[in-house]
Amino acid sequence: MNQSKAPIYEALEKFRKMRIVPFDVPGHKRGRGNPELVELLGEKCVGIDVNSMKPLDNLCHPVSVIKEAEELAADAFGAYYAFLMVGGTTSAVQTMILSCCKQGDKIILPRNVHRSAINALVLCGAIPVYVNPKIDHELGISLGMEIEDVKSAIEKNPDAKAILVNNPTYYGICSALEDIVKIGHKHGMKVLVDEAHGTHFYFGKNMPITAMKAKADMASVSMHKSGGSLTQSSFLLIGENMNKGYVRQIINLTQTTSASYLLLSSLDISRRNLALRGQEAFDRVEYLASYARNEINRIGGYYAFGPELINKNSIYDFDVTKLSINTLDIGLAGIEVYDILRDEYDIQIEFGDLGNILAYISVGDRKQDIERLVTALADIKRRYSKDRTGLMSNEYINPKVIMSPQDSFYAQKESLPIQETVGKVCSEFVMCYPPGIPILAPGELITEEIIDYITYAKDKGCSITGPVDPYINELNVIKGREG
């Protein structure tokens, strides 16, 4: 297909010149009713914040320019079909699970999934079969799915409907995706890939294998992360064994009927940009990340880890664009370095956990930005370095699942002081965000280790989300149910 085309963008440009009088929504009427919004976003932006109409197609049932944009995206990503998603990759992940699982069905997945996956289990009533990842205790990060663990889960649960794989993880860890797909298909299971952090795999030269090339059935791709589109815009890719009409129906269960043309056009333009110039762009991203990794490791005290971790098992491959930096040897938790960089150096990092920070390197970065980060890290080491005694590292604790996420989420519950919840069954989510991987999910046993972790993360300044209580002093547990 002609990847130089951008049908949604082109239709909006044509629409802009038509001087149509709006008697439809949105009510700001091209910004005339909200001058402060125009001042913030500009006339051009507000002027194309329009409603679905025949010339611009409709995301719920595309027949013209949106359909063409989806076909172009499928071609660019090597998929059977691609859906434009305006509810973020959260909605794409949920669509994957809801398309393959219903109440009572089993799905095999790693426990270090994004909360969106477990949210989908709450919605559809599927039962998780967790493949607990191995932990790198030095770095405090969870690793990929090991093949033997996947095989064991399948042998014990041959009736599972699907396997979900994180590829890559937030830290750049990749599983043996092609082998997992082959094993899953051999046992009649769909293989779904949360590829939120892997958009660039489809366009870079020396990248880990993509979900579509590995013949996965579905993949959710955060175009707004490494692909350059506007926040909240993503793609859902499917293989030829999926019924695209049914998938569209699942999408329409939860996705808005008032899709933003700002988001849609950003997907269209960004897909064109990557299809035409992506390899060159990601060659530079790879260079910048490697340069940063080498310079940071020269400082001492930090460890910007990379492909040297590959063991062809729990770390089958590594995304070299991910700049994950372990900070424990300078005596600071990752979240502490994250806060110092923002508050004292005006540098915003993607996230900090208990042992690491992640600097997200992508198409918009410059070498001088990298050098500023390296200089700041060296200065932080000089000013704040101390003994690491007492620092906790692990970002993942193997859970004990007592009930399904759906049953526990909707069960009768009570709120208790957090220290009194040990031995109870949690009925809500608790997570540090980002990265949004639950420390606790509905249906899991609350242990002293987990409470200690939550308390420590709070003390270090992690942003903890999920519970009804905004201060995380209390947790909701299932009333009358002990673990």
Counting the structural domains of the chain, the total is 2
> Both 365 and 449 in a single domain?
no
Tokens representing 135 are: 């932990």
62: in domain: no
Q: Give the global pTM.
A: 0.96
202: in domain: no
Which residues does 205 contact at the CB level (< 8 Å), separation at least 6? 279, 282, 283
User: In the chain, what percentage of residues exceed pLDDT 70?
Assistant: 100
pLDDT digits (tens, 9 = 90+) for 2-12: 999 999 999 99
Over residues 282-293, mean pLDDT: 97
| Structural domain boundaries enclosing 437 | 405-482
Matching residue, tokens 């398309």: 99
> Both 291 and 368 in a single domain?
yes
430: in domain: yes
Element (H, E) at 466: none
> Both 428 and 376 in a single domain?
no
Q: Which of 470, 475, 437 is nearest to 118 (CA)?
A: 437
172: in domain: no
> Both 291 and 373 in a single domain?
yes
For position 481, what pLDDT does the model report?
A: 87
User: Would the CA dihedral through 152, 157, 158, 162 be positive or negative?
Assistant: negative
86: in domain: no
Q: Distance of CA 156 to CAs 32, 39, 153, Å?
A: 62, 60, 5
By DSSP bridging, strand 322-326 and strand 303-304 are antiparallel
> Both 378 and 442 in a single domain?
no
Give the bridge partners for 477, in sequence order: 414, 426
> Both 301 and 371 in a single domain?
yes
CA distance 461 to 351: 12
209: in domain: no
CATH value at residue 361:
3.90.1150.10
pLDDT averaged over the chain?
96
> Both 426 and 334 in a single domain?
no
Which residues does 64 contact at the CB level (< 8 Å), separation at least 6? 7, 57
315 CB-side CA count, 13 A: 18
Inform me whether the pLDDT recorded for 354 exceeds 70: yes
For position 395, what pLDDT does the model report?
A: 67
pLDDT digits (tens, 9 = 90+) for 377-406: 999 999 999 999 889 877 678 889 999 999
Which residues does 154 contact at the CB level (< 8 Å), separation at least 6? 108, 160, 163, 183, 184, 187, 189
Inform me whether the pLDDT recorded for 327 exceeds 70: yes
User: In the chain, what percentage of residues exceed pLDDT 90?
Assistant: 93
Over residues 118-126, mean pLDDT: 97
> Both 380 and 426 in a single domain?
no
Which residues does 188 contact at the CB level (< 8 Å), separation at least 6? none
CATH value at residue 441:
3.90.105.10
49: in domain: no
> Both 373 and 411 in a single domain?
no
134: in domain: no
pLDDT digits (tens, 9 = 90+) for 55-111: 999 999 999 999 999 999 999 999 999 999 999 999 999 999 999 999 999 999 998
> Both 411 and 351 in a single domain?
no
Domain final residue pick, 351, 384, 417:
384
Q: Are 34 and 40 in contact (CB under 8 A)?
A: no
> Both 362 and 418 in a single domain?
no
> Both 372 and 420 in a single domain?
no
Over residues 305-323, mean pLDDT: 97
Q: First and final CA of the chain: distance in angstroms?
A: 56
Inform me whether the pLDDT recorded for 353 exceeds 80: yes
User: Of the ranges 166-170, 276-280, 430-434, which one carries the lowest mean pLDDT score?
Assistant: 430-434
CA angle 109, 169, 433 (to 5 degrees): 95
For position 130, what pLDDT does the model report?
A: 95
Inform me whether the pLDDT recorded for 20 exceeds 90: no
Over residues 259-285, mean pLDDT: 97
Q: How confident is the model at residue 276 (pLDDT cuts 50, 70, 90)?
A: very high
pLDDT digits (tens, 9 = 90+) for 456-479: 999 999 999 999 999 999 999 999
